Amino acid sequence: MATSKIAARNYLFQVAVGATPTWTSVAGLKSFSFNPGDHDSHTEATDFDSQGQYEEVVLQRGGSLKLEGLRRIDKATGLADPGQAALDALAQGLADASVGQIRFRHQSETQWRVWNCTAKSAELGGDTNALGKWGMEIARTGAETYMPAP
């Protein structure tokens, strides 16, 4: 089987909006990083029976995403891109309101990775001759699930 390189720009990120939910694309992205091993917890399991060989078990799995891009707004209404706005709101939530859902995949993949997640806003800003930046740090909470891509 031959394999091909894939373009990072062809990854799709959507956030769940509302109770139904409606999956809403996050606009303005320039880069992302996906760390499927973030928040893992490994515990040493070596004992006398290990006969001098190191042993460990994983007692916790996690994952994280970092999204970076440009702030997008509707100039007529002043409202942020709906996907960015949903993540901005999630990043301000407390308790149950701090957990939402995101899904992502490369456009060539046939399944979405779906996460229950929390979000933390990254720095906003820019300089005199730059466009305003936007970013979000997302941590998976619970097990990753999958759903078929439409």
Interval 48-100: pLDDT, tens: 999 999 999 999 999 999 999 999 999 999 999 999 999 999 999 999 999 99
Peptide bond preceding 21 in cis form (omega within 30 of 0): yes
SS3 35: strand
Q: What is the value of pTM for the model shown? A: 0.89
Phi, psi of 48 (to 5 degrees): -60, -35
